[in-house]
Chains A and B, each alone.
Chain A
Amino acid sequence: MNGRPRARRLAAAVAACALVSTAAPAFAQVDFSGAWGARLHEDNLERGGGPEMNEFEGLPINAADRMRGDSWSASLWTVPEHQCIPHPADYGPNFSQLVMWSDVDPVTKDVVAWHTELSWMNPVRTIWMDGRPHPPAWAPHTWQGFSTGKWEGDMLTVETTHLKPAYVRRNGLARSEKAAVREHFIRNGDILTIVTIVTDPVYLTEPYIKSRNFQFDPGYRMTPYPCSVDVEIDRPAGEIPHYLPGANPFISEAAAKHKMPLEPARGGAETMYPEYMERMKTLPTATMPAQPAAAGTAAPPASPAAVGTPARTPER
């Protein structure tokens, strides 16, 4: 496979989105205000219960990101600083309900900003429409980043920078803070399509493109989603759950469970494209790990002394 068919497909996808955006009445397309229900009919791995460990298929990750994923332990979510992290702007639309509204300049009546709020963790995002520049490199980064928008016909195109480091899939595949995100918001009647294109010079070999559809849902009311941090695992101070290189017992588990070869589960740009299905037919089905997954060992916990912090009283 070479890059040209891919490039054509990517260009065709974006062009199709643009075509759809110009085919419907203008009024319905330029106002995104209101509540939108996620249709949840694409990319099952990114919604609901989410992916299994080491399911990397369909993502243009490089070897460094694969190592990040292999190192990741789900127990990381129990570390206090990780418990209340919302999905970043480039991941949140995967499955949450969505509410959008705009701010209007009271004098000129121009739309100064669009806002989005997602149901899961209630992250609020601002898309500036007043032409302001993106902040300098030393400005803070946030989960929703800094976004500016412009109209391309009836399609709102949004550029986002200043994202915190996060993930392209919630099983440890990293997305760096050097990433930039371009989105297209397209309304076609009561359907809103958000096309998200993630470019990450650190962890992706080519742009990661996905689309999500939402149904206009005027009866929906956003519900609160408070999050409180609770220490429920009594572990040595300073211990960070992770797997040492070569020690993750789950690498072939998901592939074997779904009776697919291991190679596609390791991810990479080639696994995004239809041609890869032919190669998959030539590969052997993965086998379950020799040891039960439950016997897997994370990195040996560092002792409090080794971490350099005083021994603590158990918090329970």
Chain B
Amino acid sequence: MKTSVAVVATLAIASAASLFAQGAAPAAGPAPAARTDGAGAVHVWPVQRNIYALFGPGGNSTVSIGDDGVLVVDTMTADAAPDLIAAIRTLSNKPIRWIINTHSHPDHTGGNAVVARSGVYIATGNTRGGGGASILAFENALMRLNGSAGSPDKVPEAGWPTDSFFVKQKDMFFNGEPVLTMHQPSAHTDADAIVFFRRSDVIAAGDVFTPDRYPVIDAAEGGSINGTIAALNTLIELAVPEFNEEGGTMIVPGHGRICDESDVGDYRDMVTIVRDRVQDLIAKKMTLAQVKAARPTFDYDGVYATPSFTGDMFVEAVYRSLTASPGAASRSPAR
């Protein structure tokens, strides 16, 4: 019965959230509000249909709930994983069957082992079942997590992806809809993937889109400014607004609030404009120090600069990305 109560509450919240998004007439249900349900610091927000966004202390997860079970995109940090599982359990008592990692960084994969262990692998024929949930990631993420790429992201085997792909897209059908995991080359890292829930019309973007901060370009792991812009443009190509450039396809970023196409467009504009400014200063033969002194992010710092990633740091990342030797930021999968 406890589960039933939770589901009813969830449906009511989903209804209210939908009304908020569309500016429609009021319903008798409660207002959309933060909800913890004993889930510690992880907060649930119903996005649309059977997709939920979960907001944790270090990043976001996206969850698909349905008859097939639970699919989790990104598992937060190891510390937050128990709260993530508790939050998922307020939505469904079905088994967690799939984890998809958008890249290898620990704020998105740290909970892999714990969340996978709480789930199950359902086998058929002569394949051995049991164990934990399957973990899917782009191949470069696997190689970082298992240590073969010499990355600081290395974790014990329980946190490694069990399934990887090296082509541009991995498809599956889960909870009544196509789920497209799409590699984004050399963006935040060289292991990025976005996850498109095609019928629910929700995209889990990972850290190629972080509207509460400048994009962090991890050059050491193959990220680049132009790949980041390309990934943002891919999100825009996939997204279709419902009315007046609002609603329709909803996007759960790696960090920050739930967004739609116009939000990605606004962010893409900023990243492109800063890239163009830095590119222009590089063309004028300015050094990194001179480029920083020109303050090409001055008009955006109030929106996107954070103590841990300032405008200066973003400018330096853009500068280094644009002046890197060809190919340095666009490695092929190291197979």
Contacts and interface: CB of A to CB of B under 8 A. Distances in A.
A44 B69 CA distance: 58
A259 interface: no
Contacts of B73: none
A125 B21 CA distance: 10
Contacts of A79: 265
A136 B273 contact: no
Interface of A, secondary structure class, is loop
A113 B25 contact: yes
Contact of A71 (B185, B265, B279, B299): B299
B173 interface: no
B23 A124 contact: yes
Given A81-B236, A165-B303, A143 B246 contact: yes
Contact of B298 (A64, A139, A308): A64
A272 interface: no
Interface in B134-187: 185-186
B279 A302 contact: yes
Given A85-B262, A140-B21, A176 B32 contact: no
A67 B298 CA distance: 8
Contacts of B296: 245
A136 B280 contact: no
A266 interface: no
Given A302-B276, A308-B226, A81 B265 contact: yes
Interface residues of A, number: 63
Contacts of B263: 141, 164-165
Given A238-B233, A308-B230, A138 B257 contact: yes
B272 A240 contact: yes
B33 A135 contact: yes
B286 interface: no
A244 B276 contact: yes
Interface stretch (A5-13, A28-36, A126-134): A126-134
12 contacts: A64-B301, A81-B245, A122-B244, A130-B26, A138-B256, A143-B246, A164-B246, A178-B303, A202-B302, A203-B302, A227-B244, A302-B272
Given A142-B21, A245-B296, 16 more contacts: A64-B301, A71-B299, A81-B264, A86-B245, A113-B26, A122-B244, A123-B23, A132-B31, A138-B45, A138-B257, A139-B17, A202-B302, A242-B269, A244-B280, A300-B280, A309-B230
Interface of B: 17, 19-21, 23-26, 30-34, 43, 45, 53, 55, 60, 185-186, 224, 226-227, 229-230, 233, 236, 241, 244-247, 250, 256-266, 268-269, 272-273, 275-277, 279-280, 294, 296, 298-303
Interface of A: 63-65, 67-68, 71, 76, 79, 81-86, 103, 112-113, 115, 121-126, 128, 130, 132-133, 135-144, 146, 164-165, 174, 176-178, 201-203, 227, 237-240, 242, 244-245, 299-300, 302, 306-309
